[in-house]
Chain A
Amino acid sequence: MAADLRRSRLTPLGWAGLSIGAAIMLAPLAWTLLLSLKNNAELVGHSEAALHGPYTLQNYIAIFGNSLTTRWLLNSAIVALGQTAGVLVLASLAGYGFSRLDFPLRRPLFIFVLLGLAIPSQAVILVQHQLFAWLHLHNSYPGLILPGLVAPFGVFFMTTYMRGIPRELDEAAMLDGASRWTIFWKIILPLTVPAQSTLAVFTFLGAWNDYWWPLISATRSDMYTLTVGLAAAQMNYAQTSGLGYLMAQAVFASIPIFIVYIVFQKQIVRAMAGTAV
């Protein structure tokens, strides 16, 4: 109803502005798609050749011609899903602890966690790499997944969300004899599904697109994630003599993200609008 009201207030000028904005946003994506469907040699001199046929799927066939592509896809899926599951579990537990439980040093600990938001990953990459080398975890799934589980944003997000849930629910459950775990598992957690969905989407997207850590941790090609594998498969000067292939790689790598976006569109929009909390 509210949406209908807003829509009815949009003037033709507003529609035109939105349409132009949408076209500007979509044009690079359409351009990428068109380039990916062209023969590389045709694009060397004139990338505008992408505006007309003939089109070909040879760049996509070449991607799948590499026997490791499916392996990289699987690696990315395992790492992204593993990180997402891990972050949801840890952030939910930590969020519940920080929002509901009284324990010594709770406030300083929460501030300590928040400080993690201010530290860029680049600042700790050397010691992180050395730690994982010492643990012999490079070129392994745990080596790719574990660093992503350190998610101060997730803890902050879930803590803030859970603080908004009335404490009376906990008290009523306690009167009925429910344990802390039962309250968390059966009462609080189901109420956080919207926040969980939002956090899951952002964690998945971040893990899927991560390049730097997989680049230096997964140094054996069978352990590459899709981002690193596709970059490795590029020949020098791919941006000129292999432009179509390069764009096909970009399209291919973004398909899973596209699917995630379609499926979780409502949660993403809600999160971007700041209404999930």
Chain B
Amino acid sequence: MKRIVAALLVTLALGSCGQSDHKTHLYLQRFFGECGAEYGRSIDVSNAEGECGIITTLVDRFNAENPDIHIDVNVVAWPGYPQLTAQVAARDPPDLVTMHEGVISDYASKGLVEPVDNYLRAAGISPDDFTEAARQGVTMYGHVFALPWDTHGGLFHVNTALFAKAGLMRGGKPVLPNSAAELITQARQFEQRTDKPYLIQSNVGDPAFAARNLYTYMMAQGAVLFPDPKHIKLNTPTGVQVANFFRRINADKLGTQNMDTPAAIAAFVSGEGGIYPTGTWMIGSFQQEAETPGRPLYRSYAVYNYPRLWGEHVVYVSGHSWVVPTRKRTPQQRAAIARFFKFMAAHNYDWARTGHIPAFKAALQDPRFLALPHRNDIASLAQIGRPLPSYVLRQNAIEGIVGEEGAAAFTGQKSIPQALAAAERRVDDLLAQVD
């Protein structure tokens, strides 16, 4: 018994031990998962695959190239904000954190993350180096609050074999619509010739899906979604028009019904529909299917930006970024953060292999990036991408509400005016509670 107690005490004591190695330590917190088993000791970024593999090898490589600095990595469950908020409340936040651009304003408005202008200057990075979408995503209150790392948003992932069967291929490329009416016409043709739905939709348990569609096509028509920081405007003629369009797709069975994200992904890779409007993050998985003989998507995959159906060609986007939570730091730590920014900016192309669009113009124009599968077709997302205005707080929660009510409107669970009005009321109530 005494031995067990002694062993327990030793374990507890060891658990509290710190380290001292005369290096400048930075504490980095990220999501994207843990893959130390596969990439833990690798610094070969070019051979790493997927978000987890690439970020793991990048950090390992930074540590290897900067022997006076050590990045201690803390992997958190996606998206990691409950933990970050808890760390901020306990006055022990990390030095570097991955953050979606739509979330930055929540922390920046309360001074919980530092403006990074000085770090960028020290790293020799100018905000002019960012793509337009990335610059908009990290700039607020007259400052840059994060190092943008990518732009991600919705894309039309296309099954070209089914498109060919539907007679919707021209010159080896799928024919995408140029208006809402054209999309309906093409969808009918597709359905008649393939006996499969044109759109694969994840309207169940995936609020981002409906929100992305509603935001994108309302923005395209010049709608001001947030006339001020406390109110949203959805129940407008424009909003009703967009909701009616998606309602019609469901009512006419031109899209799949009752699918959540896994079901929709499975349906697309199984060749059960023509187009799956989902994000940049799926390119890698779908391309892998397209390169595997015997799979339904084999040599039958293409991907494009959301088509312009009304007004201007814009797409609602967000992005991953690196923020620096506010806390006391030594000059050495501040210099180390600047070096980390410089390193990550220089390796933006490597990250873009995940499928996300680069946040730096140089990486966007990098021939290596343009040579990656499909990237030439979607690179313009960096220009046409539009985040929500930076003065809007609680963008994640708002997306949840808008998506939930939007899906109810699209699928007919609620009447369109009722759903859009409910979304407005719930979002306005939420924003009224925000300091």
Contact = CB atoms under 8 A, between A and B. Distances in A.
Contact of A45 (B29, B87, B289): B289
Nearest to B282: A237
B75 A233 contact: yes
A223 interface: yes
Given A45-B266, A65-B38, A66-B34, A228 B77 contact: yes
A238 B74 contact: no
Given A129-B90, A223-B15, A235 B83 contact: no
Given A45-B296, A78-B11, A236 B92 contact: no
Interface in B77-110: 77-78, 82-83, 85-87, 89-92
Contacts of A220: 74
B373 interface: no
Interface residues of A, number: 42
Contact of B77 (A64, A140, A215, A217): A215
Given A78-B8, A232-B76, A240-B261, A138 B40 contact: no
A165 interface: no
Given A74-B11, A133-B89, A235-B52, A240 B262 contact: yes
Interface in A206-246: 215-217, 219-223, 228, 231-241, 243
Interface residues of B, number: 46
Contacts of B262: 239-240, 243
A44 interface: yes
Given A44-B289, A216-B83, A235 B51 contact: yes
A235 B34 CA distance: 7
A221 B75 contact: yes
Interface in B160-196: none
A170 B215 CA distance: 73
Q: Is the interface of B mostly helix, strand, loop or mixed?
A: helix
Contacts of A217: 86
B36 A236 contact: no
B258 interface: no
B413 interface: no
B265 interface: yes
Q: Is the interface of A mostly helix, strand, loop or mixed?
A: helix
A41 interface: yes
B37 A238 contact: no
A232 to B, nearest CB: 5
B118 interface: no
Contacts of A68: 34, 36
Which of the listed residues B34, B50, B74, B266 has the most CB atoms from chain A within 10 Å of its own CB? Answer: B34
Contact of A215 (B29, B82, B92, B295): B82
Nearest to B93: A219
A148 B427 CA distance: 36
Contacts of B76: 219, 232
A130 B8 contact: no
B285 to A, nearest CB: 5
Given A44-B285, A65-B37, A236 B78 contact: yes
Contact of A232 (B34, B40, B295): B34
Nearest to B295: A45
Interface of A: 41, 44-47, 61-62, 64-68, 74, 78, 129-130, 132-133, 138, 140-141, 215-217, 219-223, 228, 231-241, 243
Interface of B: 8, 11-12, 15-16, 29, 31-38, 40, 50-52, 73-78, 82-83, 85-87, 89-92, 261-262, 265-266, 269-270, 281-282, 285, 288-289, 295-296
Given A133-B89, A235-B33, 4 more contacts: A45-B295, A67-B36, A219-B74, A232-B77
23 contacts: A41-B288, A45-B269, A45-B289, A62-B38, A64-B37, A66-B34, A74-B11, A78-B8, A129-B86, A133-B89, A215-B82, A215-B83, A216-B82, A216-B83, A216-B86, A217-B86, A221-B73, A231-B77, A232-B34, A235-B32, A235-B51, A236-B32, A240-B262
